[in-house]
């Protein structure tokens, strides 16, 4: 058992354990002075090999900090859960985008499938606009046809009148 724990300690130092195994081992170290000493020794060896220097935490290091922290206030920060609404909003936005893309794709596809239908629609629209323009142009001509008689000066005009043709 000790051998196995020591082997895990070696893997832990090299970051080879997963989260759960690491947590389990840390709890074991916390309760077992022999494992604490082993961790201290392995750390010392590692540092001495790498740096020609050796300085690790003393055996009462954790206990001293625990004692200091006992007098500190306890945190009671509520856990930050990912809000459920956020997910709903994200799904709704994604669905909206998909719907929009689908509609545009469908319309584009339909237009491509019926090119003559589009041309007919354009022609009908142009015809409608042309009729409206003709009506307005006729109204303009009728309005200005009376100019001759307005000023009691038949056959002549005192000044040039330029009729504006404005869009109303």
Q: Which is nearer to another protein, 70 or 168 (CB)?
A: 70
Tokens 């590692």 correspond to 46
CA distance 12 to 153: 112
Q: Could you tell me the smallest distance in angstroms from the CB atom of residue 111 to another protein?
A: 50
What six digits make up the tokens of 26? 């840390």
Q: Could you tell me the smallest distance in angstroms from the CB atom of residue 90 to another protein?
A: 21
Q: Which is nearer to another protein, 81 or 168 (CB)?
A: 81
Q: Could you tell me the smallest distance in angstroms from the CB atom of residue 86 to another protein?
A: 17
Q: Which is nearer to another protein, 48 or 90 (CB)?
A: 48
Q: Which residues bind another protein (CB under 8 A)?
A: 6-7, 10-11, 14-19, 22-23, 26-27, 29-30, 36, 38-58, 61-62, 64-66, 68-70, 72, 74-79
CA distance 36 to 60: 10
The one-character DSSP state at 131 is H
Handedness of CA 60, 61, 64, 66 (dihedral sign): negative
């Amino acid at each position: 058992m000790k051998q196995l724990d020591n082997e895990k300690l070696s893997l832990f130092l090299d970051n080879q354990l997963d989260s759960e195994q690491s947590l389990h081992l840390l709890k074991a170290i916390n309760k077992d002075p022999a494992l604490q000493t082993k961790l201290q020794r392995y750390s010392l060896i590692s540092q001495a090999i790498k740096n020609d220097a050796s300085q690790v935490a003393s055996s009462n290091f954790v206990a001293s900090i625990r004692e200091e922290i006992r007098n500190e206030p306890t945190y009671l920060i509520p856990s930050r859960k990912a809000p459920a609404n956020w997910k709903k909003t994200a799904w709704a936005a994604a669905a909206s985008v998909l719907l929009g893309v689908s509609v545009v794709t469908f319309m584009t596809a339909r237009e491509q499938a019926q090119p003559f239908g589009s041309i007919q629609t354009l022609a009908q629209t142009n015809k409608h606009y042309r009729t409206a323009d003709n009506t307005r142009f006729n109204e303009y001509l009728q309005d200005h046809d009376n100019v001759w008689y307005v000023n009691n000066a038949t056959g002549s005009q005192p000044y040039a009148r330029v009729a504006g043709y404005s869009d109303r």
